[in-house]
Amino acid sequence: MTLRVLTGIKPTGTPHLGNYVGAIRPAVRASVAPGVASFYFLADYHALTGAADPARVHRSTLEVAASWLACGLDPARVHFYRQSDLPEVTELTWLLMCVTAKGLLNRAHAYKAAVDANLEVGAEADAGIGAGLYAYPVLMAADILLFNAHKVPVGRDQVQHIEIARDLAQRFNHLYGGEYFTLPEAAIEETAAVLPGLDGRKMSKSYDNVIPLWGTSKALKEAVYSIVTNSQAPGEPKDVEGSALFLIYKAFASAEDTAQLAADYAAGIAWGEVKRRLHEHLERELAPARDRYLSLITHPARLDEILAAGAERLRPQARELLARLRDAVGLRPLAKLAAPTPVAKPAAKGKLPRFVQFRLPDGRFDFKFNDGEGALLLAGVGYADARDCGRAIAALKAADESALVIDAHGGIHLDGAAIGMAGEGGLDALRLGLAALRAAEA
């Protein structure tokens, strides 16, 4: 099975070296792995939840799209698109909103932080907080669930959002009785370096300590020379621990070169020489990409085309999922109501045996198969993955009677594999129940 990996990039600023090392470079590397379908998109709807700044969103979308492509993302191989080019994202957001507990969003970190900031200055809790910020996690869940992503590479600050997406997926599946959504998992990039900025703190535009990714070679050099160091003179042994220069160098140099620099620190290398070497390494890695970047941002129509094609390619599957979801929630063609006998069926349904899926206290998934009166026919064996639980149910529904075997302890086996424990009625009652269900569903 193909592993679907999806991540969104919010276009709210100009890409810097920290974005490159922490997100762009690892994502581009991961995107060439075999057996993986990658989805990378510009989360431009998310960019609207901050202060209104249309020119910034516009400009940043151009810069971020050009950066990812310049760094080697291949739009023929991965799905690369703009969130706002997929109307299904907003449609799904609403369907999810309607299964979202308001209290769940009250507990979201970003919203809570905004409330705390208000309270701290004596303002009303919700002063200046938009419903867009409040619903942000639901929009993000829609991004992820629209393509049933398995893995979502994100930073630690986003993990709660992935948990919310799981929650909503599970809730929707449960409420509407189907396996509509896969439960996504956060993939935290442990290996990607957190890059220090000019002042030694984490490189971040909120600290105003960033090195822009695409400055000229000269601008890059000036930035490197402005990275803080201590006042140790040439010849004095220096400590790599806590040296921002060393950490940035390490993110761009081979293990060998890094070891050499560590030795040179101990031997008293001059700060100027460290900076010269760092600039040389940065140039080596970034110069070819910089040329591609310049060519891309000077041909924005080409970028429009690439992004539009990326979205177009995905729309059939997005539409197909939305069609199923609309049907699930009751947004159905009226003609569907006229045909069947509307009263008889629900009455009979109460008497039918049925499968019930649920969550065990340890977080695993399980099912029971009960007869029409609620007596147990079969209890499942417990599954780590909801899909395996669903598959076991599907296998039972499709099973040939003779493929079911009971052992001395009441364990039921299907095609040689344990699938549950029989209820009081044993194998015979189970077989009758399955047959009744099959007859009713035929």
What residues line the site for ligand TRP (CB under 6 A)? 6-8, 10, 43, 46, 140, 143-144, 152, 154, 158
CB 162 → ligand TRP: shortest distance, Å?
8
What residues does 16 pair with on adjacent strands?
A: 212
Q: Is 89:146 a contact under the CB 8 Å cutoff?
A: yes
Residue that the structure tokens 């030795």 belong to? 263
Cβ 358 to ligand TRP shortest distance, Å: 28
DSSP letters spanning 348-375: HHTTS-EEEEEE-TTS-EEEEEE-TTS-
Element containing residue 118 per DSSP (H, E): helix 109-120
Which structure tokens are listed for 66? 């050009």
Q: Which is nearer to ligand TRP, 154 or 262 (CB)?
A: 154
Place of tokens 């991965």: 78
What's the start-to-end Cα distance of the chain, in Å? 30
What is the nearest approach in angstroms of ligand TRP to the Cβ of residue 6? Answer: 6
DSSP 157: G
Shortest gap between Cβ of 163 and ligand TRP (angstroms)? 12
Which H helix or E strand runs over 23? Answer: none
Q: Kindly state the smallest distance separating residue 160's Cβ from ligand TRP, in Å.
A: 11
Instruction: Give the DSSP H/E element, type plus range, for residue 309.
Output: helix 300-329
Comparing CB distances to ligand TRP, the nearer of 39 and 246 is 39
Burial 153-178 (b: 16+ CB within 10 A, else e): bbeeebeebbebbbbbbbbbbeebee
**Any idea how long the chain is?**
442
- Residue type for 70, please? A
- Residue type at position 109: H
* CB closer to ligand TRP, 91 vs 283: 91
Least Å distance, CB 44 to ligand TRP, is 10
Question: CB-wise, 64 or 220, nearer to ligand TRP?
Answer: 64
Question: Least distance to ligand TRP from the beta carbon of 419, Å?
Answer: 36
The smaller minimum CB distance to ligand TRP, of residues 87 and 272, is found at 87
- Cβ-based nearer residue to ligand TRP, 109 or 174: 109
Place of tokens 């989805």: 39
Of the two residues 23 and 99, which places its CB atom closer to ligand TRP in the complex? 23
The residue (of 140 and 286) whose beta carbon lies closer to ligand TRP is: 140
Give whichever of 78 and 262 is closer to ligand TRP, judged by the CB atom.
78
Dihedral sign for Cα atoms in the order 231, 233, 236, 241: positive
**How many angstroms separate the CA atoms of 104 and 168, rounded?**
10
Angle between helices 300-329 and 54-70 (to 10 degrees): 100
Question: Least distance (Å) from ligand TRP to the CB of residue 302?
Answer: 25
- Alpha carbon 410 to its chain's center: 42
